[in-house]
Structure 1
Amino acid sequence: MTQGGISYFGIRHHGPGSAGSLVKALQELQPVAVLIEGPVDASPLLPLLASPDMKPPVALLCYPEDDPAATSFWPFAEFSPEYQAALWAVANKAALRFIDLPSAARLAEKAAEAAADTEAAEAEAKDEQGEEPTRVQDPIGTLARAAGYEDGESWWSDIIEQNPEPGPIFAAIADAMTTLRDGEGSIGRLEAMREAHMRLEIAAARKEFDGPMAVVCGAWHVPALQAGHTQKSDQALLKGIGRRKTTMTYAPWTGPRLALGYGYGAGVVAPGWCKHLWQTRGQDDASVLWLARIASVLRAKGHMISTASLIEAERLARALAAIRERPKPGFEELRDASVSALFNGEALLWKMVEAELLLGADVGEIPPDTPLAPLIDDLQRNQKAARLKPEALERELSVDLRSESGLFRSTLLHRLNVLGVDWGRLT
């Protein structure tokens, strides 16, 4: 949705369909500047996302120097719209910036709220991770549930991505968010400050750049960023904002920690499925490839899966999609078809492979020259020395304390437990 030479792209955080639509829109618009929702003081680190050695999932890490335990994270996956926007901007030599409140200001504001009202601070704690407001954590998910869908990505895929006549996608999303916000009433102080800061940054960029610009933000924020607020009122809202000295860097992340079920309010239901959608975008056999992956996991666990069963599962998934009036099978149809055709109706068997399939086991990597927090730097050196590669999912590890390597591994894991990092636990 364009306003005054600025196009606003309301996205769903970590939505592969949203990322695909955004890349197409940026390619058509060819903006001279890309402004992304995120801590403005981390803008110098944004181009690092395009480094060949940066392998998502990764997270932007911020911590106050006087309290390193109060760390905040902004995760990026391969299928995150913000990540793809950064890649596009670097590849096309467009200016690239974050426009949200500085991390230091957000940390200071959160600390002040905690001191004044503990309950209110807990209700807004998820905002520290760059998430949507606590009352409507997933606005696209809200629309999806209203339409009878289990998750927002399925709704987005059906109604927008796979709709033969989708029309102006981002304008439609902006209209939907406007309707949702009209029914929400007043917003919290921190959210109001964030949106005021983003409006001021957009206004400053409008004066600096000559040409089309793109603003990439959570769909929930689009109506507020387009609303008619004066710079004076926005500056007044930010007057006296707290400051804390912070340090920012990147850290490796894991696929499961992108999941909504892991306590990440801006997460997705199934990161593994989202990655699959992104990697198979534009292909007609995405559902077949997903079933093949299910079969591969089952066979690795010793189960006999015949080709005939896979063919039947694919037919059943398409039939379920037709009954449910969906253009293509989603992961719900493929799950139900698999339970019936591959698991002989035993839903318990699906639970055995669900985490590996839907959450994934990806572990990100960051460039060697990335500035690291001292503890992370020390941990990575010890992990290499112990030959313990970080993994996303749990596995059993036997340690022989009679050997030097086994004793070193045990010592490292016990040291982490003392620090409250449960990377390994005794069984």
Structure 2
Amino acid sequence: MTHVVHDTAPPAAKARSVLRDSAFLRLWTATTASGLATWALPFVLGLAVLSRSLTAVELGVLLAARTTGFLAAVPISGVLADRYARRQVVLYSGLTSAIAAPVLTAFLGNSLVLAAVAAAAMGAGQGACRPAFSALTAEVVEPVQRQQANAAMTMSIRVTTLVAPGLTALLALVVNTQGLLLGIGALWLVAALVPPAGSGQVPSADGKGFVTEFLDGVREARRHPWFLAGLGALSAVIATGYSATGVVLPLVSRDRYGTEAVLAGALTAYTLGALAGAVLMARWRPRAAGWTGLFGLALYGFAPLALLLPVHPFVVIAVYAVAGLGIDLFNVPWFTATQREVEPSKLARVSSLDFLLSYGLAPAGLALIAPAITEFGTSAVLIVCAVVCFAAPAIAALVPSSRDFGPRHE
């Protein structure tokens, strides 16, 4: 039987800030660099379209290649990060993306095939580092500090999303697309080289095949009903609510309100709301953390409703701020519980399953929502999206262990 060590530290240990830990700060710096590099690539490629060094069709091919590389690498990395040292997997993942950046720079606008191969390699490095970083966090950070650590990492993502577009646009005034792509490669070098060593207490290769080891991770996930329920709810919300944001919000902003300001305001409000949620969860320890997280996840259901109803534009913006707040009410305890409850030797595989299903379904949702709108109409699609966003977390909350994302810890 697997025994998981729970939070039994005295109050004094709980009060110590994780930001005083140099090992965590190195890990935070690396994850922030990887997050910034991940965000920046599609933005910089979009700037290449504006400068006419890339066509819209070529942009679509490169982004599709990156997504394919990401999805292919996530399960492979999950197995490798449980088989070998997580720090090694982070190193090679970051180096893969760092090396791919100058290759993409060299062939952008010259050879679409080679540029797509480089984009796929960058996506693979991005996908490979995600489960490895999650597992490495559990090695570097003490259990009582993990919620604060996960909140700090989430805050860095939100600040990056908020500030980076303006900074990148300013850099584009003095640096061309090739220079910006090389800068992305430098960020990946930081992600590869800066993280601290973990505990290294992971099993070495035991002769099992890749598929067998991955299925061991699936079986570990199935041991935790709260995880399956929460992952199902998260995947449903991303595939529907996020798709409504990606496809319908720009149309509503243009057609109903006659300005792109509503689109920009809603997306900015979402990021600010998420940042507020991460700040809140850095200190708040709700008694029913799982139900709190699922409630936060369900708040995204108001976003498609706001797009459906003829409300004032400031209502749309406010609703997106609430949706952003809710998503990090879910994210922070979700990652913390996964690191706490899952058997350490299988944590990367379970994390890879999380990323593969939740984020892997996002492109499918985006691809399906436009044809669905054409077939059934915008109102019908938004109603379905809202119902799914409300119902999926509510159904997940019916699973007994979802109350605390695991057995209750007194």
TM-score (norm 1): 0.28
Relative to its length, the structure with more helix (as a share) is 2
TM-score (norm 2): 0.29
